[in-house]
Amino acid sequence: MATGWAGDGAVQDQIDATVNDAVQRARRQLKKGPGLTHCQECDAPIPEARRNAVPGVRLCVACQEAQDAERTAALYNRRGSKDSQLR
């Protein structure tokens, strides 16, 4: 691949740096510390296995799924999708 004045491994170095930055950003967003014993949304008990698996957990599975669905729905543009144009 022609890279002009860049060194032989410059493109791969840039890709690696981008991936490492994304991993570090994701790790910074993870909650830390002890999780809650009851969901902060619906007050349902959070199983010990979930608290051990997800450090800093604040929501039960049902509330977490609902929150994830809301976030995902906001990111997806149905009008711009190819499927919606074919119907």
Residue 74, pLDDT score: 66
DSSP characters over 37-77: SB-TTT-PBPPHHHHHHSTT--S-HHHHHHHHHHHHHHH--
**Residue range 16-57, pLDDT digits in tens:** 999 999 999 988 887 777 889 999 999 999 999 999 888 889
Average pLDDT of the chain? 82
Residue 60 has pLDDT above 90, yes or no: yes
pLDDT category, 72, cuts 50, 70, 90? confident
Look at residue 86 and tell me whether its pLDDT is greater than 90: no
What integer pLDDT is reported at residue 22 of this predicted model? 93
Give 22: exposed, middle or buried? Use CB within 10 Å, 0-12, 13-18, 19+: exposed
